[in-house]
Amino acid sequence: MDVFRVTGNGPLKGTIEVGGAKNAALPILAASLLTEETVRLENVPDLSDIRFMVEIMRHVGARVESPEPGVWEVTAAQLTHVAPYELVRKMRASVCLLGPLVGRLRRAEVSIPGGCVIGPRPIDLHLKGLAKLNCKVSIDSGYVHVDASDICGGPIFLGGRSGSTVTGTANIAMAAVLAPGTTRIECAACEPEVVDLCNLLVKMGAHIEGIGSPELTIHGVEKLHGCKHSVIADRIEAGTFIAAAAITRGDVEVKGIAPNLLGAFLDKLEEAGLPMEKKTDSIRVLPYDHSLRPVDVITLPHPGFPTDLQAQLCALMTQTEGLSIITERIYPNRFMHVPELQRMGADIAIEGPSAIIKGASALSGAPVMASDLRASAALILAAMAAQGETWIQRIYHLDRGYERFENKLASLGARIDRLSDKEMPKELRQE
């Protein structure tokens, strides 16, 4: 297994280009199963999660090929309806196959994805939505079985305890585009990735109104067709690089991202006093010599502050004077990065769903363990601001969602090496 060795090396400097969004590309790949014609997808990031999705799509019978880097062509002439546990367990997002299989084949048998380190990740809202589309839904031996022979549109309230659901909205929209009648999804997720999926579906011939709003109206059509689509930019990757620039007091231009995709995040950084220059398609973080101010943040569904940037903000706030409060409303236990940041010298207390960060800690390099995708990014950020060497194990989590992360950081001047765990000093290894 690979590990990272990161050595604090002062301010980052330069320009980076943001790649395609993982969380848009995954449901969009799945959506291409809704037609027997070829769908060509561009700006698809090269990530292990994308490769898992391709593997499972091939398993259900699609031809999925990559004629050039970043491009995938999907032709789903014939499909089978079973997505087995041994594939689904590798990636929770494979639950996105449920909607397309139901829409296209009128039946689906998809293994229920297991739990996840960031907390319980139920799919009850997906199932409730399908039942409201007049599907017969049952669970047997770890699989969801859907009989959609009488599928038809109808009104669906898709909100749960934490508000809207991103992949739930994607699944119900994908099932509804080919269902007779009109489906009205209330409390639909408004995330830019859901918007991108809906835009793809419209290009394929779907009739969807209210895209980007919490109420989606879908008039079912008989058939969809092939199209070409370029996946939107990854706002979470962009936000991670902005936080990396900020924590090192660097001068970095993050290109290929519209600032309005990061509204709540940039607003908090402005409140903290981070100097930035925003253009239509880029955000530049400017160097500063004052201390940033602490923030009080609650993660919420879009357009609120994204949970996927919470860990990175925690890392940044360890370096500001004063007390920050970061509250998780989407995944209340998503604080696995905190004990590792504490090992590096951060002063953070967890009180219920909140992290209380007493800032301006002098961080020092330590051996730490990555627990999930965004926690991995937070540890790398902290390591760049720390004195000495930090060794980060289990970086396969990072490879799921950041394309060439260490190369991009190194191009900005970071000292980060990917090594085999055999090259890590034995006394520092935690396993």
Beta sheet of 354-358, edge-to-edge order: 296-298, 323-327, 354-358, 347-351
| Smaller CB separation from ligand EPU, 34 or 123 | 123
| Smaller CB separation from ligand EPU, 241 or 331 | 331
Quick one: which of 93, 95, 73 has its CA closest to 83? Answer: 95
User: Residue 93 Cβ, how far from ligand EPU at the closest point, in Å?
Assistant: 4
CA–CA separation, 231 and 71 (whole Å):
10
DSSP state of 422: G
User: Residue 374 Cβ, how far from ligand EPU at the closest point, in Å?
Assistant: 5
Contact between residue 258 and residue 287 where contact means Cβ atoms under 8 Å apart:
no
CA–CA separation, 71 and 66 (whole Å):
6
Contact between residue 111 and residue 92 where contact means Cβ atoms under 8 Å apart:
no
Quick one: which of 90, 179, 68, 93 has its CA closest to 130? Answer: 179
In sequence order, what DSSP letters do the residues of 244-312 get, joined into one string?
Answer: HHHHTT-EEEEES--GGGGHHHHHHHHHHT--EEEETTEEEE----SPPPP-EEEB-STTSB-GGGHHH
Contact between residue 315 and residue 341 where contact means Cβ atoms under 8 Å apart:
yes
| Smaller CB separation from ligand EPU, 92 or 106 | 92
| Smaller CB separation from ligand EPU, 187 or 424 | 187
| Smaller CB separation from ligand EPU, 123 or 385 | 123
Q: E strand or H helix at 418, and its extent?
A: strand 415-420
User: Residue 330 Cβ, how far from ligand EPU at the closest point, in Å?
Assistant: 5
| Catalytic annotation present for 116 | yes
| Smaller CB separation from ligand EPU, 20 or 401 | 401
In sequence order, what DSSP letters do the residues of 71-137 get, joined into one string?
Answer: EEEEE-SS--SEE-HHHHTT-GGGGGGHHHHHHHHSEEEEEPP--BTTB----HHHHHHHHHTT-EE
User: Residue 360 Cβ, how far from ligand EPU at the closest point, in Å?
Assistant: 28
| Smaller CB separation from ligand EPU, 29 or 363 | 29
Tokens 């084949």 map to which residue? 105
With H, G, I as helix, E, B as strand and everything else as coil, classify residue 47. Answer: coil
User: Residue 128 Cβ, how far from ligand EPU at the closest point, in Å?
Assistant: 8
User: Residue 423 Cβ, how far from ligand EPU at the closest point, in Å?
Assistant: 28
CA–CA separation, 73 and 56 (whole Å):
15
C-alpha triplet 130, 203, 64: angle, nearest 5°: 75
Q: Which residue out of 116, 135, 187, 190 is catalytically annotated?
A: 116
Q: Which residues sit at the interface with ligand EPU, rule CB under 6 A?
A: 23, 26, 93, 121-126, 160-162, 165-168, 307-308, 330-331, 373-374, 401
With H, G, I as helix, E, B as strand and everything else as coil, classify residue 39. Answer: strand
b/e per residue 292-311 (b: at least 16 CB within 10 A): bebbebbbbbbebbbbbbbb
User: Residue 118 Cβ, how far from ligand EPU at the closest point, in Å?
Assistant: 6
Quick one: which of 65, 326, 144, 394 has its CA closest to 380? Answer: 394
CA–CA separation, 136 and 6 (whole Å):
52
User: Residue 286 Cβ, how far from ligand EPU at the closest point, in Å?
Assistant: 28
| Smaller CB separation from ligand EPU, 95 or 386 | 95
- Active centre residues (catalytic): 116
